[in-house]
Structure 1
Amino acid sequence: MDLLNIVKGAGVIGAGGAGFPTHAKLTSKAEYILLNGAECEPLLRVDQQLMEKFPDEIIRGMEAAGRYIEARKAIIGIKGKHKQVIVLMRERIAALGLSDYMEVMELRDIYPAGDEQVLVHELTQRIVPEASIPLKVGCVVINSETALNICKAIAGNPVTETYITVAGDIPQPRTFRVPVGVSVREVIGQCGVENVDDYAVIDGGPMMGSVMNNIDGYVTKKSKGYVLLKKDHFLIRKKTVSPDRARVIGKTACEQCRMCTDLCPRYLLGHNMQPHKVMRALSYNLEDVKEQQIAQLCCECNACELFSCPVNLHPKSVNVLFKQKLAEQGVKYQPIQMDFQARSAREYRLIPSKRLVIKIGLTAYDKPAPMTEVEFRPEYIQIALRQHIGAPAIPTVSIGEQVKAGQLVGKIPDNSLGAAVHSSFNGTVVEINDNSIVIKVGSYV
C-alpha cells in the first residue's frame, strides 16, 4: 500500500486545528514540503514539546510525505526563541543522514507566524495568491503532530489520540496525550480546577478559538487546547459579543482609522484584504453585497479585532458576517491578479507575540504547560463523525457491536473529501446518531 492510502486509512488530518484530511495534500506534487512548528497561538505548548519528545518520528514522517510528493526540499519552521528544540532537530536531521534534504529555519516571534500563507512567505519568500492554497506556489504544509501521525500510520497505527494544552487562569497548566472521544470535563479536571463552571472555556487558542457554549463535549482529533479564564476577563467578554451587537457597535463607532487593514497579515502580503472597507459598508443598507467580496479573504486570525483596533471594535466578526451573506447569495471572490509582492511597510508592522499577549491580558498566564502522562479511564467515549474538513464519516459498526482500540468505526463516503475515524478504547457501541458514535469502555456489556 502506498503512503497516500496508508495515511488515508489511518485517518490522519491536519492536527494544527483546521482538520484538513492529510491524504488530500498528498495527491499533488510540490517543490517544497514545509513543517509548521510555529505554534503562534499564545499559551499553547504542544508542538515544541512533541519535537523534543519525538524528533525522529516527526522527521521521518515529514521525510516520507516529502519524498512522496517529490519535494526537492523539506523545511521545518520553528520560532528562534525555541533554541533547544532547534538544536535538537538539527542534530537529529544530521544523525538520520537527511542534511542534504531537510533543514530547520528560524521564524520570528510574531503573530500569526503559523498562518499557512505567512509561513510560506517567511520560509520561501513566495506569496500564495488570494483565495488560493500553498500548493499554488509549489508548497505543501503540514503540522508537527501531523508528521508524527504520518510516522505512526506507516507503523500501522491509526489516529486515536491527540495532544492538548490546558492553560489560562488555572493552578496547573499542562499538556496531555488524550484519547479521542474523552470528555472535555475529564481533561480539564486534570489541572487542579475545582469548579469548571466558574470559568469560560475557549476551545483552541485564545486568538482563533471560540468560547464553548457548554463544556460537555468530547475531544476530537483536531482538539489542540483549552484556555480557561474567568467569565469577566476581557478576552471572554470580547469573544462573546453577538454578531448583531458587533454590527451595531461597528456601524456607530468605526472612525475609519484603517489600523485593522494596516496590520492585517494578509494585506501585508499584498492581498486586497481591507477590513476597514468592510467596516465602512456597515453604514449602508446593502442588499447586494457582491462589492464586499474581499471579506472572503479574511483568515479570521483575529489580529484586527484583538490587537489592531484602537477602540476595541469587531472587524473580524463583521468580515464573518459578510462572508455569510456572500455565501447565501452564492458570490465567490474572483481574484484579478495572481502575482503578489509583500507591501513595503510589512517589516515594520509585524505583531510581536509578547505585545499581543499583553494586549489580550494573558501575561500572568503565559507559563510552561509541561507534558504530563495521565491515564484517562472514561466510562464512555464519543467519537465524532466529523472531526475534519469535508463530509462526515459513515459508521461501519452497529449498536451492540464490540470494538477494539484502533478499530475503524467510520469510513469516508464514496467520492468525498473526508477522514476515517477509529475507536480509541476497547468497548461496546451503545449509540449511533447523525453526529457521533458512543462507546461504553471497558468490560463488554
Structure 2
Amino acid sequence: MDLLNRVKDAGVIGAGGAGFPTHAKLSAKAEYILLNGAECEPLLRVDQQLMEQFPEEIIKGLEAAGRHIEARKAVIGIKGKHQEVIRILREKITALGLEDYMEVMELRDVYPAGDEQVLVYELTKRVVPEASIPLKVGCVVINSETALNVFHALSGKPVTETYITLAGDIPHRLTVKVPVGMAIRDLLRQCGLENGDDYAVIDGGPMMGSLMDGIDGYVTKKSKGFILLKKDHFLIRKKSVNLNQGRVISKTACEQCRMCTDLCPRYLLGHDMQPHKVMRALSYDLKDVKELQIAQLCCECNACELFSCPANLHPKTVNIFYKQKLAEQGIRYQPTQVEFQPRAARNYRLIPSKRLVAKIGLTPFDLPAPMARIEFKPATIEIGLRQHIGAPSLPIVNLGQHVEAGQMIGKIPENSLGAPVHASLAGTVTEIKDNSIVIKVG
C-alpha cells in the first residue's frame, strides 16, 4: 500500500485547522512541502513540544509526504524564539542525512505567522493569489502533528489521539495526549478548577477559537486547545457578541480610521481585503452585496476585531455577515489579477505576539503548559463522524458490537471528500447517532 492510501486509511486530517483530509492534500505535486510549526495562537503549546519530543518522527513524516508529492525541498517553519527546539530539529536533520532536502527556517514572533498564506510568503517569498490555496504557488502545507500522524500512518497506526493544551486563568496549565471522543467535561477537570461556574471556555486559540455554549461536547481529531477564562474577561465578553449584535454596533460607530485594513495580514500580502470598506458599506446599508465580494477574502484571523480597531468594533463579524449574504446569492469572489506583491509597508505593520497578548488581556496567563503524561480512562467515548472538511463518515459497525482500539468504525462515502474514523479505545457500541458513534469503554 502506498503512502496516500495509508494516510487515507489512517484518517489523517489537518490537526491544527479546519481538518482538511491530508490524503487529498497530498494527491497533488508541488515544489515545496512546508511544515507549519509557527503555532501563532497565544497560549497554545502543542506543536513546539511535539517538535521537541518527537523530532525524528515528525521529520520522517514530513520527508515521506514531501517525497510523495515530489517536492524538491522541505522546509520547517518555526518561530525563532524556540531556539532549543530549532537546535534539536537541525541536529536530527543532519543525523538523518537530510541536509540537502530539508531545512529549518526561523519565523518572526508575529501574529498570524501560522496563517497558511503568511507562512508560504515568509518561507518562500511567494504570494498565494486571492481566493486560492498554497498549491497555486507550488506549495503544500501541513502542521507538526499532521506530520507526526503521517509517520504513524506508514506503520498502519490510525489517528485515535490528539494533543491538547489547557490554558488560561486556571491553576494547572498543561498539554496532554487525549483519546479522540473523550468528554470535554472530563478533560477540563485536569486544570484544577474546583468550581467552573464563573468560567467560559474557548474551543481553540484565543484569537480564532469559538466560545463554547457548554462543555458537554467531545474531543475531535482537530481539537488543539481549550482556553478557560472568567466570564467577565474582555475576550469572553467580546466573543459573546452575536452576529446581529456585532453588525448593529459596527454600523453605529465606525470612524473609518482604516486600521483594520492597514494591519490586515491578507491586505499586507497584496490582496484586496479591505475591512474598512466593508464597514463603510454596512453604514450605508447597501442592498447590492455583489459589490462586497472582498469580504470573502477574510481569513477570520480576528486581528482587526481583537487588536486593530480603536473603537472596539467588529470588522470580522461584519465580514462574516456579508460572506453569508454573498453565499445565499451564490456569488463568489472573482480575482482580477494573478500575481501579487506585498504592500511596501508590510514589514512595519506586523503584529508582535507580546503586544497582541497584552491587548487581549492574556499576559498573566502567557505561561508554559508542559506536557503531562496522563492515562485517561473514560467510561464512554463519542466518536464524531464529521471531524473534517467534506462528507461525514458512514458507520460500519452495529449496535452491541465490540470494537478494538484503532478499529475503523466509520468510512468515507463513495466518491466523496472525507476521512474515516476509528475507535480510540476498545469497547461496545451502545448508540449510533446521525453524527457520532457512542462506545462504552471496556
**Cα distance per residue 1:226-246 (max 9 Å; x no partner):** 000000000000011111111
Structure 1 equivalent of residue 322 of structure 2: 322
**Cα distance per residue 1:282-318 (max 9 Å; x no partner):** 1233333111100000000000000000010000000
Q: Aligned partners of 1:333, 1:219: CA distance in 2, in Å?
A: 34
**Cα distance per residue 1:162-191 (max 9 Å; x no partner):** 000000000010000000000101111011
Query: Is residue 17–residue 204 contact of structure 1 (8 Å, CA) maintained in 2?
Result: no
What is the DSSP-based 3-state SS (H/G/I as helix, E as strand, rest coil) of the residue aligned with 1:383? strand
1:186 lines up with 2:192 in the alignment: no
Q: Aligned partners of 2:290, 2:417: CA distance in 1, in Å?
A: 28
Structure 2 equivalent of residue 348 of structure 1: 348
Structure 1 equivalent of residue 416 of structure 2: 416
Unmatched 5+ residue regions in structure 1?
none
1:389 lines up with 2:389 in the alignment: yes
**Cα distance per residue 1:355-403 (max 9 Å; x no partner):** 0000000000000000001111111100000001111000010111110
Q: Aligned partners of 2:401, 2:198: CA distance in 1, in Å?
A: 39
- AA partner of residue 368 (structure 1): P
* Matched length: 442
Structure 1 equivalent of residue 130 of structure 2: 130
What is the DSSP-based 3-state SS (H/G/I as helix, E as strand, rest coil) of the residue aligned with 1:196? coil
Structure 1 equivalent of residue 224 of structure 2: 224
- AA partner of residue 243 (structure 1): L
Structure 2 equivalent of residue 157 of structure 1: 157
Q: Aligned partners of 2:4, 2:159: CA distance in 1, in Å?
A: 15
Q: Aligned partners of 2:304, 2:192: CA distance in 1, in Å?
A: 34
1:11-160 aligned at under 5 Å gives the runs 11-160=11-160
**Cα distance per residue 1:189-217 (max 9 Å; x no partner):** 01111122321000000000000001100
Structure 2 equivalent of residue 234 of structure 1: 234
CA positional deviation for 1:142 = 0.3
Large movers: runs of 4+ above 2 Å: 284-288
1:311 lines up with 2:281 in the alignment: no
CA positional deviation for 1:281 = 1.0
What is the DSSP-based 3-state SS (H/G/I as helix, E as strand, rest coil) of the residue aligned with 1:410? strand
1:176 lines up with 2:176 in the alignment: yes
Q: Aligned partners of 1:125, 1:196: CA distance in 2, in Å?
A: 46
Structure 2 equivalent of residue 332 of structure 1: 332
Q: Aligned partners of 1:103, 1:181: CA distance in 2, in Å?
A: 36
Structure 2 equivalent of residue 375 of structure 1: 375
Q: Aligned partners of 2:268, 2:153: CA distance in 1, in Å?
A: 38
**Cα distance per residue 1:318-345 (max 9 Å; x no partner):** 0001001110110000000110000000
Q: Aligned partners of 1:146, 1:317: CA distance in 2, in Å?
A: 30
Q: Aligned partners of 2:279, 2:176: CA distance in 1, in Å?
A: 40
Q: Aligned partners of 1:161, 1:114: CA distance in 2, in Å?
A: 23
Q: Aligned partners of 1:198, 1:180: CA distance in 2, in Å?
A: 27
Q: Aligned partners of 2:51, 2:285: CA distance in 1, in Å?
A: 51
CA positional deviation for 1:20 = 0.5
1:189-338 aligned at under 5 Å gives the runs 189-338=189-338
Q: Aligned partners of 2:330, 2:415: CA distance in 1, in Å?
A: 23
Structure 1 equivalent of residue 439 of structure 2: 439
- AA partner of residue 327 (structure 1): A
Q: Aligned partners of 1:322, 1:379: CA distance in 2, in Å?
A: 44
- AA partner of residue 164 (structure 2): I
Q: Aligned partners of 1:14, 1:245: CA distance in 2, in Å?
A: 32
Q: Aligned partners of 1:5, 1:147: CA distance in 2, in Å?
A: 15
Q: Aligned partners of 1:372, 1:346: CA distance in 2, in Å?
A: 39
Q: Aligned partners of 2:9, 2:411: CA distance in 1, in Å?
A: 9
**Cα distance per residue 1:215-265 (max 9 Å; x no partner):** 100000000000000000000000111111111111110010000000000
1:166 lines up with 2:166 in the alignment: yes
- AA partner of residue 408 (structure 1): M
What is the DSSP-based 3-state SS (H/G/I as helix, E as strand, rest coil) of the residue aligned with 1:197? coil
- AA partner of residue 384 (structure 1): G
TM-score using structure 1 length: 0.99
What is the DSSP-based 3-state SS (H/G/I as helix, E as strand, rest coil) of the residue aligned with 1:166? strand
- AA partner of residue 346 (structure 2): R
Q: Aligned partners of 1:248, 1:142: CA distance in 2, in Å?
A: 38
Unmatched 5+ residue regions in structure 2?
none
Query: Is residue 43–residue 167 contact of structure 1 (8 Å, CA) maintained in 2?
Result: yes
- AA partner of residue 166 (structure 1): L
- AA partner of residue 98 (structure 1): L
Q: Give the share of equivalent positions with the same residue, in percent.
A: 77
Q: Aligned partners of 2:170, 2:354: CA distance in 1, in Å?
A: 20
What is the DSSP-based 3-state SS (H/G/I as helix, E as strand, rest coil) of the residue aligned with 1:142? strand
What is the DSSP-based 3-state SS (H/G/I as helix, E as strand, rest coil) of the residue aligned with 1:201? strand
Q: Aligned partners of 1:196, 1:407: CA distance in 2, in Å?
A: 35
